[in-house]
Amino acid sequence: MSLGEFLQRATSPWMREGGPQDDIVLTSRVRIARNLEGIPFPQLETDSHANQVIERVAKALNSPAVRKLGDFELVRCSDLSALDRAVLVEKHLISRDLAEEARHGAVALRQDEVISIMVNEEDHLRIQCILPGMRVDEAWRLANTVDDALESELTWAFHERLGYLTACPTNVGTGIRASVMMHLPGLVISGQINRLLSAVSQVGLTVRGLYGEGSEAAGNLFQVSNQVTLGESEQEIIQNLTGVVLQLIDHERAARKALLQANREALEDRVCRSFGILAYARRMDSKETLQRLSDVRLGIDLGIIKGVSSRILQELLVMTQPAFLQKYFGQELSPGERDVRRAALIRERLRLDDTEVHG
Amino acid sequence: MLCQRCQQRPATVHFTQVIGGDKTEYHLCDQCAQEKGDLLSKAAQAFSFNSWNPFQFNQLLSGLLNMESSPGFASPPLTQLRCDHCGLPYSQFTKTGRFGCAHCYDSFEARLEPMLRRIQSNTTHTGKVPLRAGGQVKVKKELQRLRRELQQAVSLEQFEHAARLRDEIRRLEQQLED
């Protein structure tokens, strides 16, 4: 199979679309935690409880209300290979916890992979909607619709004062975690990022790097999400997040413009060097891959590099991860082998596009 | 023992903080513990949400939760407190940060309240209400109101009104059972 075909099959359909502000916002994601009334939370679930939850979810997925939203396929994690589970984690469709403790877990996926429902993770259900670009409001509305549809068959654990009850008190209330993944190289290069991120944390939001490396996020990728789930309505949470993200987008655009004006040559040099390394290197570790991809994506956004799809960052972000590499090359790979294959895959991916570099 | 922070008041709060395998014991007076608590909750937020490491978060959560249990606290010792529904020992909750069932929220309410104040903006849900449970919530609230009104009517010897209230209460109770 050619890489083009593999990409077509392996990446989620939504990853191939664009979305509003997708030069800066990669994805918008909303996750809602729900638990069934009368069954212990997953931590204390017996095999029979866990099966009950899966069976009830399966029944709910077949209800007319849910079927209206599309076709879902429910799979028990124990029926998936460890590699397939890892691929689902790399596609952000299930959590690492669910993949690792697969005994009781299951996942329901809608065909387009926009909606995924994790079953028996920390909570009985985690409904997730993920969309490309800045569409957090739409992701919430969709997740809310799925919640309503499931509720036509299932009774949620709900407390009059505390709202939706969750296994961890950090999710109680709305059970909602909305997050926006942003590419902010301008703010990082211009040294403004820490100041902005600390401001963000003062308005009830949190920021983490893609791989939890704090503010020195790999690939200049940051996830901004709500921190509080109790005491604010879902709409307030979404509005607050949206407002802050839109401001961050403005700051990022201004920073990019200022960088180009102040020192175009240095920026072009950085972008083109990274492009050269990605195009010719024989070994790439994941950290350097992320940094170079971030530079190239910035170069594409600023018109320095032409002829390369702006989806390359999203695609290769997922494609160059361990499980995907092994899936693509069809064999188990040691970390050292992965670095060699990763470099090969990136070179191949760059050849898919007819690249031009404008100096 | 004197409070190790102010060295003036007697230490009444004893707790252990574990961060990344490093264990630190604190012996503090009520006042210093309160201040330390505020610092800790900020640290807990910073840790849990920036690095998203539930392990560290739970350890800090554990520190916070045990902090509530100073000697003389008017509740059973930690080792004995369990959820009366699922049997989850409170001590296990403080280790994992996860409840065993929905009833744990009621069983551990007194201890949960101060923590919710620290980690959430408020302690009352103002968002979405499920259609199914939501109807019941409304009925339950109405029942509470009617029962209060019934007590008042009885104490004022308004027996006719009380009888009407009693019938309405029965009707709603029936509705809940169905």
Contact B122 A232 (CB under 8 A): yes
Percent of chain A that is helix, strand, coil (3-state, to 5): 50, 20, 30
Residue of B nearest to A203 (CA): B121
What SS3 state is found at B19? strand
Chain A residues inside the 8 Å CB shell of B121: 204, 228, 230-232
Chain A residues inside the 8 Å CB shell of B41: none
Q: In one letter, which amino acid is A114?
A: V
Place of tokens 């890892």: A86
Q: What are B16's two structure tokens?
A: 């252990």
Contact A151 B100 (CB under 8 A): no
Contact B50 A208 (CB under 8 A): yes
Stretches in chain A below the pLDDT threshold 50:
212-215
Smallest CA–CA separation between B111 and chain A, in Å? 12
Chain B residues inside the 8 Å CB shell of A40: 86, 100-101
Chain A touched by B140 (CB under 8 Å) = yes
A283 backbone dihedrals φ, ψ, rounded to 5° = -145, 130
Stretches in chain B below the pLDDT threshold 70:
13-25, 34-79, 133-134
Chain A touched by B155 (CB under 8 Å) = no
Q: Would you state the pLDDT for residue B145? A: 83
Q: Would you state the pLDDT for residue B47? A: 35
- Give one word for A129, left, alpha or beta, with left for phi > 0 and alpha for psi -120 to 50: beta
Q: Would you state the pLDDT for residue B15? A: 65
What SS3 state is found at A253? helix
**Cα distance between residue A128 and residue A40, in whole Å:** 22
Q: How far is CA A170 from the centre of its chain?
A: 21
DSSP state of B11: P
> Of A160, A170, A232, which is closest to B137 when you measure between CB atoms?
A160
Chain A touched by B176 (CB under 8 Å) = no
Cα–Cα separations (whole angstroms), residue A102 to A54, A92, A98, A105, B77: 13, 16, 6, 5, 36
What SS3 state is found at B53? coil
Chain A touched by B169 (CB under 8 Å) = no
B43 near B18, Cβ under 8 Å? no
Contact B50 A234 (CB under 8 A): no
